[in-house]
């Protein structure tokens, strides 16, 4: 009995200890050595040579099978080649069972090494490497744990870091973590081809080909073999291309200053170690391109502006700040504290060295940072692993295909048993031919093209999605997309636009009317809007939250990089910067625009008009989603102040004096769908700048004075309502999950069809005891009871806030409430994850659509996560004429001289694209845009990108291989990455998912019917002397291959149907369809052969005799062809999911060709062709009957299939039973 360690991680589930047997004691060696010896000693002398050779052949086949099974099954290899052990010190290998959807089991070597610097010989480290991750044995927890990196320590620990102080420590760290490189061996075509040829299906297919050869079907065998090798070599070539592309990704080897052994030294980025203290800043290579950050680092001092597009796909630069001011005892969470972390692979666009006297100074003016993770453990490394280990062969419904084949094998075994029984009754029959016939019957039900067809079904969808700018790193999720029954959407930036509009300020007087004239707004309020933000200049462009930009523009102040707010006109006159060049977060842009202040690259804000005071920003406490607020310490003249803005309900608890109309005012505007921020301030006692910078956040954000509400309008995207209406009409439940206020969320949800019934929001009771359901206008109040939630959801659409989650978890009501809620408001990222896991637990198939930065957890948890990145509209399908004319216009645009930038912005506006869109595209292209095409509009740029993408896909994507997913295309956030500023990609993903499901289902049905018919022909009819000719079998195989190829390339319809596809193969519809059609095919086949026998003379045909053309053989071949064509035509599932037969032209032409071919051979028009096919002429009476029966058979099959589709439509899975089960399990845990 071995010891099993339960790791329970995201990658490894469990580990079993093994010890490799000596080669002579392996179960694939000594038992066969005994058998071969027994053959030599007993069998060879006692039997004649031929019989002894047959026995030896059987032994050899068995030995080969055992050898092959050690390659196919990890469990079998462990059983044969390893023995299980209890003591870890006796083990030399381990069997790794990965977590679900993380690949297949593997056997990896177990390593033992003495720790460097260890005085005791007992101290040793036991570890194994699995998929580029190291797992170490922990004696304390008595299991394997991931190699720890210093990425979860306290901020106080990091602030004391001075790097590795001695060579010994450097050696220990190098041995522990290794070099900072991405190392994986370059595979060769021969190695990959060998791997593909060792696949169980491939070996089985070659075995079948061998059997057909023994039965004298040479042409058919060679045709099948050629087809197999062509397909496998294409797949191997595709994988080689992908792996070669990935090998080009390297850790940037830029030289960085590292503090080691008490001094600063220059080292390559590949020599960095976790714990190293480094100086990092913007660095350019020989060609002028920005160098990337070599590892994940935590900024100790200084700040940086970083482009993280390579990881998240999001082109808006991110501001990274130091951990100064964070609580010394607080622990680092990379997910929560990402504003302090520089991720490996990202590019620093701008950096600012430390402004305060930190203990350690950088020698080159860079930011001081400590290395957290290196190699494959960095964020870039994790994304690399995801892509690298998803390059394995992709299929759909693997477990179902196994069960389906098992179902067919039952029929085959019955047929083979019948042939064996009849054959053994005749002593004159050749035993060799009899066993060959039985082998052929059993193998015939496992179609050799099955894995090929399943791969094509998924790859076709991957290529179709890539052509729409949607990239997938986990192809197994595509069939899930077809089963999705609930679609969840983030609000801000997903359903609503990034273009914020600053409306004005309210709440400063008793009047609840909006004040839009900024000259009438108190100066302090304007100063808060002008300076309490995270905007920054990158290459003379203002970057950050568009809401804050809009506010600054609205108050007509400007902002400079010395952290001062100042009059906008004055600054713009100096630097000549146009507002069109401002890019970034819409909320902050809107604030800047609304208050008509400007913000400049010396970090100052000041008013455009009048003589307002400049505001100098001293210290920022950045916005955090879990805090729902941000704060700054500023200096106005010589006075220090704290400015705070955030969610009204959060700021409410920090105010000294709460206005009586506070709640009433903000609720009025949130009900209208506006975004409302509460503004507040406090005076700070006189102190030095360094003391002001070191103030704790808690001190800054307490004892505040209310300064009004800033109101922003966040318009809904043009196509959000249409897309969600289509999803709702196509049998999907819709849910909104947002960090915004509940009233705002409900208003937007009502605009986009998420809620259509009266809304109720779960809130705390006014007396503070318990909870109640309240309508948005507070006219309807219903007491909360978890038992009534299901009933209440039938008449109302329910909304709950993030503050209710704790209560739901405390009362174990999560499964009773969450499944019935339509709108989740004020939820933190961790709560979004909880919502997804709850939906999954109760049996819903979930889709989550959000951005790739805030919704990472939820996107990963959903069955189908779609991250929307980069503000580029999706490509529209154009006619060839339009496309060619646009190509010409693009060419002419290239040939023209570049226009001034102002004309370019005008041109983009003239094309119906606002300044925001042109700015977004300018931002996206700025890093790599060449001088020759700077004048292109957003649409032309997008067209060029898509044209290039199409050319790449046309080179690579032939339907047999999946498209290559490159870094920058994929996001570490989600399995699906859509480069569009629209929710439309969700319908594309669902459409392709449904198409893949339907295509897979029809393939199984067609293969099932073909195989059942083949089993009958090879058994019952074979005993009657009916055989197919070699050429006949080859022609039949060619038609089958062509039909399968064309149905797998059927494109999905543009509109989603209300009807859903059947999610599983095993359902009443499929079973009854197969049974009914097979019965009809069998009846037609038997009747036709019996009719043909009437025209034949009485003669005895031996089953094992060679093929000779006769009437019965001719009729059976023609009937088989008719059944084959009818099977494809009847079971092709076109509308409402895919193109109909008439729209799928290649398939239609293939069917017509088959019907034409059948008509020609039946009517005997070309005698030479019939002679080549070894077909005899049919009597006219028989021919007419055959044609009539064929037509009737097709008609009845078609009617039966249509009747079943009507009687058994696809439905939303019944999830309420699973929900009740989940509730019961939770109750048991509580007890």
Catalogue the long-range contacts made by 900-903 (C-beta closer than 8 Å, 24 or more residues apart). Answer: 901/580, 901/934, 902/578, 903/935
Task: Say what angle helices 189-197 and 200-214 make with each other, to 10 degrees.
Answer: 70
Number of neighbouring beta carbons within 10 Å of residue 103 = 14
Q: What residues pair up with 445 in beta bridges, in sequence order?
A: none
**How far apart are the C-alpha atoms of 816 and 804, rounded to whole Å?**
13
Asked if residue 348 lies in contact with residue 281, where contact means CB atoms within 8 angstroms, the answer is yes
**How far apart are the C-alpha atoms of 1125 and 1161, rounded to whole Å?**
15
**Which element (helix H / strand E) includes 762?**
strand 759-764
For 437, residues 6+ apart whose C-beta sits below 8 A from its C-beta are 416, 419, 423, 1018, 1022, 1103
Tokens of 561: 């990089």
Angle at 1206 between CA 1204 and CA 1212, to 5 degrees: 105
Tokens of 1222: 């989940």
Cis peptide before 8 (omega within 30 of 0): no
**How far apart are the C-alpha atoms of 636 and 615, rounded to whole Å?**
5
Pairing mode, strands 976-978 and 864-868: parallel
Cα 1056 from chain centre: 21
Alpha helices in 470-542 (DSSP H): 478-483, 523-531
Phi-psi region for residue 142, left (φ > 0), alpha (ψ -120 to 50) or beta? Answer: left
**How far apart are the C-alpha atoms of 1231 and 1221, rounded to whole Å?**
15
Q: Which residues are catalytic?
A: 490
Asked if residue 546 lies in contact with residue 536, where contact means CB atoms within 8 angstroms, the answer is no
Tokens of 190: 């021969």
Helix and strand totals (H; E) in the chain: 43, 41
Task: Say what angle helices 1145-1163 and 1180-1207 make with each other, to 10 degrees.
Answer: 150
**Which element (helix H / strand E) includes 278?**
strand 277-280
**How far apart are the C-alpha atoms of 1047 and 1146, rounded to whole Å?**
9
Exposure class string for 835-856: b at 16+ Cβ within 10 A, else e: bbbbbbbbbbbbbbbbbbbbbb
Of the candidates 157, 115, 153, the residue with the CA atom closest to the CA atom of residue 136 = 115
**How far apart are the C-alpha atoms of 371 and 349, rounded to whole Å?**
19
**How far apart are the C-alpha atoms of 1033 and 1027, rounded to whole Å?**
10
**How far apart are the C-alpha atoms of 531 and 525, rounded to whole Å?**
10
Alpha helices in 39-188 (DSSP H): 44-46, 49-72, 74-81, 155-159, 167-177
**How far apart are the C-alpha atoms of 115 and 877, rounded to whole Å?**
62
Cα 1186 from chain centre: 52
Radius of gyration from C-alpha coordinates of the chain = 35
Asked if residue 1052 lies in contact with residue 995, where contact means CB atoms within 8 angstroms, the answer is yes
**How far apart are the C-alpha atoms of 823 and 521, rounded to whole Å?**
35
Alpha helices in 189-315 (DSSP H): 189-197, 200-214, 218-247, 309-312
């Amino acid at each position: 009995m071995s010891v099993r360690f339960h790791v329970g991680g995201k990658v490894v589930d469990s580990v079993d200890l093994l010890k490799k047997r000596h080669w002579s004691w392996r179960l694939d060696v000594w038992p066969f050595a005994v058998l071969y010896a027994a053959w030599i000693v007993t069998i060879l002398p006692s039997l004649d040579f031929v019989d002894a050779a047959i026995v030896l052949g059987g032994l050899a086949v068995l030995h080969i099978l055992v050898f092959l099974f050690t390659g196919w099954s990890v469990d079998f290899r462990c059983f044969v080649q390893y023995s299980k052990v209890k003591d870890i010190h006796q083990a030399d290998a381990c069997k790794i069972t990965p977590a679900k959807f993380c690949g297949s089991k593997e056997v990896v070597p177990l390593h033992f090494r003495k720790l460097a610097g260890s005085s005791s010989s007992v101290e040793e480290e036991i570890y194994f490497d699995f998929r580029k991750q190291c797992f170490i044995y922990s004696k304390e927890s008595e299991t394997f744990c991931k190699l720890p990196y210093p990425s979860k320590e306290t901020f106080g620990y990091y602030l004391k870091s001075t790097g590795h102080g001695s060579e010994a420590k450097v050696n220990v760290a190098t041995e522990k973590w290794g070099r900072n490189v991405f190392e994986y061996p370059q595979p060769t075509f021969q190695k990959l081809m060998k791997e593909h040829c060792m696949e169980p299906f491939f070996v089985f297919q070659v075995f079948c080909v061998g059997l057909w050869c023994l039965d004298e079907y040479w042409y058919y065998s060679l045709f099948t073999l050629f087809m197999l090798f062509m397909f496998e070599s294409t797949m191997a070539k595709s994988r080689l291309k992908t792996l070669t592309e990935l090998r080009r990704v390297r850790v940037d080897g830029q030289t960085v200053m590292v503090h080691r052994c008490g001094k600063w030294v220059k080292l390559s980025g590949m020599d960095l170690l976790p714990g190293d203290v480094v100086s990092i800043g913007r660095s350019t290579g020989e060609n002028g391109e920005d160098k990337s950050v070599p590892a994940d680092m935590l900024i100790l001092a200084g700040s940086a502006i970083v482009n993280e597009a390579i990881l998240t796909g999001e082109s808006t630069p991110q501001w990274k700040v130091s951990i100064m001011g964070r609580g010394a005892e607080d622990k680092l969470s990379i997910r929560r504290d990402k504003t302090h972390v520089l991720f490996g692979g990202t590019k620093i666009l701008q950096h600012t060295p430390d402004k305060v006297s930190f203990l350690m100074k950088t020698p080159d003016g860079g930011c001081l940072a400590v290395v957290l993770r290196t190699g494959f453990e960095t964020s870039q490394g994790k994304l690399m692993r995801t892509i690298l280990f998803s390059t394995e062969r992709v299929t759909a419904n693997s477990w179902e295909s196994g069960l389906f084949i098992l179902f067919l094998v039952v029929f085959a075994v019955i047929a083979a048993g019948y042939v064996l029984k009849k054959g053994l009754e005749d002593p004159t029959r050749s035993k060799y031919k009899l066993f060959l016939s039985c082998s052929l019957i059993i193998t015939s039900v496992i179609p050799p093209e099955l894995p090929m067809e399943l791969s094509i079904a998924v790859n076709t969808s991957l290529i179709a999605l890539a052509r729409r700018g949607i990239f997938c790193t986990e192809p197994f999720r595509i069939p899930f997309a077809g089963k999705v029954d609930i679609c969840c959407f983030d609000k801000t930036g997903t359903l609503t636009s990034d273009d914020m509009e600053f409306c004005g300020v309210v709440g400063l007087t008793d009047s609840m009317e909006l004040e839009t004239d900024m000259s009438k707004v108190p100066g302090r309020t304007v100063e808060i809007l002008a300076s309490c933000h995270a905007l920054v200049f990158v290459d003379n462009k203002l970057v950050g939250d568009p809401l804050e930009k809009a506010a600054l523009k609205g108050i007509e102040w400007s902002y400079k990089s010395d952290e001062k707010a100042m009059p906008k006109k004055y600054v713009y006159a100096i630097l000549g910067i146009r507002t069109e060049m401002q890019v970034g977060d819409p909320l902050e842009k809107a604030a800047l625009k609304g208050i008509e202040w400007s913000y400049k690259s010396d970090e100052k804000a000041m008013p455009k008009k009048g003589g307002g005071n400049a505001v100098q920003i001293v210290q920022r406490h950045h916005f955090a989603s879990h805090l729902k607020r941000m704060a700054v310490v500023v200096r106005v003249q010589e006075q220090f102040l704290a400015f705070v803005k955030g969610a009204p309900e959060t700021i409410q608890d920090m105010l000294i004096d709460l206005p009586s109309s506070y709640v009433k005012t903000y609720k009025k505007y949130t009900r209208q769908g506006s975004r409302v921020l509460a503004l507040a301030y406090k005076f700070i006692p006189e102190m030095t700048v360094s003391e002001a910078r070191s103030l704790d956040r808690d001190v800054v954000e307490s004892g505040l004075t209310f300064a009004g509400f800033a109101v922003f309008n966040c318009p809904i995207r043009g196509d959000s309502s249409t897309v969600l209406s289509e999803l709702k009409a196509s049998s999907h439940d819709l849910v909104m999950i947002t960090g915004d206020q509940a009233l705002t969320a409900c208003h937007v949800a009502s605009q986009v069809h998420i809620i259509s019934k009266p809304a109720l929001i779960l809130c705390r009771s006014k007396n503070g005891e318990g909870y109640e359901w309240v309508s948005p206008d507070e006219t309807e109040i219903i007491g909360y009871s978890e038992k009534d939630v299901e009933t209440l959801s039938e008449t109302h659409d329910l909304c709950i806030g993030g503050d209710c989650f704790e209560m739901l978890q405390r009362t174990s009501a999560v499964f009773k409430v969450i499944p019935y809620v339509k709108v989740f408001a004020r939820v933190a990222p961790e709560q979004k994850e909880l919502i997804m896991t709850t939906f999954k637990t109760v049996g819903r198939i979930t889709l989550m659509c959000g951005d790739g930065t805030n919704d990472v957890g939820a996107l990963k948890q959903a069955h189908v996560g779609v991250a929307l990145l980069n503000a580029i509209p999706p490509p529209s399908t154009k006619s060839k004429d339009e496309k060619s004319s646009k190509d010409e216009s693009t060419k002419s645009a290239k040939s023209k001289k570049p226009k001034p930038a102002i004309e370019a912005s005008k041109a983009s506006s003239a094309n119906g694209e606002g300044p925001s869109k042109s700015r977004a595209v300018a931002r996206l292209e700025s890093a790599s845009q060449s001088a020759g095409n700077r004048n292109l509009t957003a649409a032309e740029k997008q067209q060029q990108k898509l044209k290039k993408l199409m050319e790449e896909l046309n080179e690579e994507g032939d339907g047999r291989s999946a498209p290559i997913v490159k870094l920058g295309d994929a996001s570490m956030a989600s399995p699906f990455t859509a480069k569009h500023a629209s929710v439309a990609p969700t319908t594309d993903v669902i459409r392709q998912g449904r198409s893949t499901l339907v295509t897979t289902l029809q393939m199984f049905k067609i293969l099932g019917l073909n195989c059942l018919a083949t089993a009958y022909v090879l058994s019952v009819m074979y005993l009657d002397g009916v055989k197919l000719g070699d050429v006949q079998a080859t022609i039949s195989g060619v038609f089958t291959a062509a039909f399968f190829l064309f149905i797998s390339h059927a494109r999905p319809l543009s509109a989603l149907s209300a009807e859903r596809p059947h999610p599983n193969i095993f359902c009443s519809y499929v079973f009854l369809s197969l049974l009914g059609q097979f019965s009809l095919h069998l009846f037609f086949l038997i009747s036709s052969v019996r009719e043909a026998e009437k025209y034949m003379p009485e003669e005895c045909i031996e089953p094992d005799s060679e093929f000779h053309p006769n009437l019965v053989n001719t009729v059976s071949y023609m009937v088989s062809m008719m059944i084959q064509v009818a099977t494809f035509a009847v079971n092709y599932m076109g509308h409402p999911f895919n193109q109909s037969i008439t729209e799928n032209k290649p398939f239609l032409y293939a069917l017509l060709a088959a019907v034409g071919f059948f008509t020609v051979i039946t009517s005997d028009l070309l005698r030479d062709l019939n002679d080549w096919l070894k077909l005899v002429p049919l009597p006219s009476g028989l021919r007419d009957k055959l044609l009539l029966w064929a037509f009737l058979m097709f008609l009845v099959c078609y009617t039966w299939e249509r009747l079943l589709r009507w009687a058994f439509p696809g439905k939303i899975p019944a999830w309420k039973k699973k929900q009740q089960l989940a509730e019961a399990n939770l109750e048991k845990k509580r007890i």
